[in-house]
Structure 1
Amino acid sequence: MSQPVSVTRVTHHLIPSPAGRIHLVEQGSGPLVLLVHGFPEFWYSWRHQLPVLAAAGYRAVAVDVRGYGRSSRPEDVAAYRMLDLIEDNVAVVHALGEQRAVIVGHDWGATIAANSALVTPDVFRAVGLLSVPYAPRGGPRPSEVFANMGGEEEFYVSYFQEPERAEAEIEPDVRGWLAGFYAALSADTMPPAGSPDPHFVSRGGTLRGRFPAGRLPAWLSEDDLDVYAAEFERTGMSGALNRYRNMDRDWEDLADFDGAPITQPSLFIGGALDASTTWMTGAIQAYPTTLPGLTSSHILDGCGHWIQQERHEEVNEILTGWLASLPA
């Protein structure tokens, strides 16, 4: 079982942004590296990276994405569209007195990071993607794609679309739900091959009905789980889930970027046992076209979805090596 990481040396800030305010934590000095978390996490998911990046000579900054943690949580579902999140990231860079930054994201944070680099290349000079590969905007409307997945079962992204539906499952026992969700996508606790897929919901069922129970993954201590649970118990889940409820809006908003490559220097790290990686093999194979600036790409054997926590030592080594290789 992992031990909690001390985060007492980080500095907390609340800065103005189009969301209202964005909360971030900062450690170190040097070139700015912006770290963007995924679902259902907050800045704390980068606790293993902050001190290492600081020690390597970087100004490491991990944000709470709007809707999470201590950042503002607009009520309007449409306030969580991708273009708004990109504006938040730009506002963070400028509020910190910088003009340019490297951006690194995990899960939804990887998609936010990729689109931030795509839409505002003058601000984000390089991009690192963890777990979720870059796939350019294109194809049918996302809601149509997800609705056709799973046959008689419902894909989790579709399940998340209706406001309050997933909240009703999660919020009565946030800690228990998070424990099961983290375990379901971790290499050492995920359901064995042949088990019902925890990314799908049977008609009338719940996601939690397919989560493993009774054991936390090795990367997650009871204290770590308490930190995550306390934050989501305080904020509720709607701000986090609203990101999923904007995928069609993103598809419309980013129409001018259909099929567009990201040309800045880039990094990808995926887990061999992560569905985000295995489902999107085609996106990875397309990197010579879609990520022509890719300079470092890695699939970690025996690794699940929570990559910078499951395998933080390997991720830190890859990340610092890639950062050192970037043009000054």
Structure 2
Amino acid sequence: MSERITHRLVEVPGGRIHVAEQGAGPLVLLVHGFPESWYSWRRQLPALAAAGFRAAAIDVRGYGRSSRPPRVADYRLLAHVADNVAVVRALGESTAVVVGHDWGSPIAAATALIRPDLFRAVGLLSVPYAPRGPHRPTDGFAAMGGDEEFYVSYFQAPGRAEAEIEPDVRGWLAGFYASLSADTMGESAGESVSFVPRGGRLRDRFPKGVLPSWLTEADLEVYAGEFERTGLTGALNRYRNVDRDWEDLAAWDGATITQPALFAGGSLDPSTTWMAGAIEAFPRTLPNLTAAHILDDCGHWIQQERADEVNRLLTDWLRSLG
């Protein structure tokens, strides 16, 4: 087993993807969400390696050392699927398990859905699988906020969220992480922070001056340093493709994912509570779901908030796959 995390850049159709990897054995591809990086899997890489797996955590396109294509359309789900396929090929593997968190979860689900020949199982953290539905996503998001604006709608216009975040990247990240962490949610309880007052800013509802227990000052510096260097546009462009994804995935409307699957979410995570209907539909949408867990008193950043527990759930599930 490798004793340390190694880093490389691999070529993909859209440029390059940065991969952090550790261990030897069956490949497990780890896909992060917003606003994070490969570093969100820092506690999973050594645990999976110790369990006999080759763990590879990528910087999703638009993040970190991976390419940042210029067009919004370059961040559609199909492009992320192509990146994942190319990474597996570049690592010399013929199959992999893909595991995603936050936006990485829909990316992982689409990857498993579209390329079942290459991805033999899928793990979804925090965001449950929901097949493509009948309605354009931005129409649904526009109806959610009432007198306020749902954060995904707020992120749609290029430059708008960047103008809020980029003058104080470190402070914004600290507040956003705290807003969705179990031990620092405070009065926001993770819900109100997902809505923006008309004419206001998302950060106006962040807890002030607190860091969640899972995030050290050094950890925050890693995240902030990456986004200070890259900016936020590449990361935010994922949100700006939800309608394009809906159009791209028309051939998979209502489709099930047939590979063995795992889901784990936090009981205090809005992604879990808002999408309770998607979880209830798992017998139909994930017919080979082999492990499902809701972690009590856990927020959104599940693999960082409850690293030891998530490591155990992941390794037990991966070993069960054979």
After TM superposition, the score normalised by the length of structure 1 is 0.96
Contact 2:28/2:97 (8 A) holds in 1:
yes
Q: Pairwise CA RMSD of aligned residues?
A: 1.3
Q: 1:195 to 1:282 in 2, by over 3 A?
A: closer
Distance 1:95 1:275 in 2: 36
Residues 249-288 of structure 1 aligned to structure 2 (within 5 Å): 249-288=244-283
Secondary structure of the corresponding residue to residue 254 of structure 1 = helix
- Partner of 1:103, secondary structure, is strand
Note the alpha carbon deviations across 1:270-291, whole angstroms, 9 max, x for none.
Answer: 0000000000000000000000
Shift of 1:267: 0.2
Shift of 1:196: 7.3
CA distance 1:193–1:24, shift in 2 (3 Å): closer
**Deviations 1:6-33 (CA, angstroms, capped at 9, x unpaired):** x991110100002200001110000000
User: What's the CA shift for 1:214?
Assistant: 1.1
Any conservation in 2 of the 1:38–1:105 contact (CA below 8 Å)?
A: yes
Give secondary structure in 1 for the equivalent of 2:193: coil
User: Which whole-Å deviations, capped at 9, do the CAs of 1:30-86 have from their partners, x for residues lacking one?
Assistant: 000000000000000000000000000000000000000000000000000000100
Partner Cα separation in structure 1 for residue 31 and residue 184 of structure 2: 25
Q: 5 Å matches for 1:92-171?
A: 92-171=87-166
Distance 1:153 1:19 in 2: 37
The alignment partner of 2:263 has SS state of strand
Partner residue in 1 for 2:182? 187
Instruction: Indicate if the aligned counterparts of 1:137 and 1:255 stay in contact, CA closer than 8 A.
Output: yes
- State the alpha-carbon separation in 2 of the partners of residues 188 and 245 from structure 1: 30
| Matched ranges for 1:296-311 at <5 A | 296-311=291-306
Q: Which amino acid aligns with 2:130?
A: A
Distance in 2 of aligned mates of 1:29 and 1:131: 27
**Residues 196 and 210, structure 1, Cα contact 8 Å, conserved in 2:** no
Work out which of the residue numbers 195, 203, 209 in structure 2 matches 1:208. 203
Give the aligned partner of residue 33 of structure 1: 28
More helix by share: 2
Report if aligned partners of 2:63, 2:234 keep a CA contact under 8 Å in 1.
Answer: yes
Q: Give the partner amino acid of 1:232.
A: F
What is the alpha-carbon distance in structure 2 between the residues aligned to residue 31 and residue 9 of structure 1?
18
Match of 1:296, as an amino acid? A
Q: In the alignment, is the contact (CA less than 8 A) between 2:190 and 2:270 conserved in 1? A: no
| 1:193 Cα deviation from its structure 2 partner | 6.2
Three-state SS of the structure 1 residue aligned to 2:20 is strand
Deviations 1:147-181 (A, max 9, x none): 11111100000000000000000000000000000
Contact 2:179 2:188 in 1 (8 A): no
1:314 positional shift: 0.4
Judged with a 3 Å threshold, the aligned counterparts in structure 2 of structure 1 residues 129 and 196 are, in CA distance, closer, same or farther, namely closer
**Distance in 2 between the 1:320 and 1:194 partners?**
31
Matches within 5 A, 1:206-245: 206-245=201-240
Tell me which stretches of 4 or more aligned residues in structure 1 moved more than 2 Å.
191-196
Q: Which amino acid aligns with 2:221?
A: D
Determine the structure 2 residue equivalent to 1:316: 311
Contact 2:112 2:119 in 1 (8 A): yes
Using the alignment, how far apart are the partners of 2:85 and 2:38 within structure 1?
17
Q: Does 1:83 align with 2:78?
A: yes
Shift of 1:191: 2.9
CA contact (8 A) 1:64 1:71 kept: yes
Unmatched tracts of structure 2, length 5 or more: none
Q: By how many angstroms is 1:97 displaced?
A: 0.5
Contact 1:32 1:101 in 2 (8 A): yes
Q: How many matched pairs?
A: 321
Partner of 1:55: 50
Matched AA of 2:169? V
Q: Shift of residue 141 of structure 1?
A: 0.2
Higher mean displacement: 185-194 or 254-263:
185-194
Q: Could you say which residue in structure 2 is the equivalent of 1:4?
A: none
**Letter matched to residue 226 of structure 2:** E
Percent identity between matched residues is 72
Deviation at 1:105, TM superposition (A): 0.4
Shift of 1:229: 0.3
- Letter matched to residue 18 of structure 1: P
Letter in 2 for 1:159: Y
Give the aligned residue type for 1:103.
V
Amino acid at match of 1:21: R
Q: 1:114 to 1:273 in 2, by over 3 A?
A: same
Amino acid at match of 1:95: A
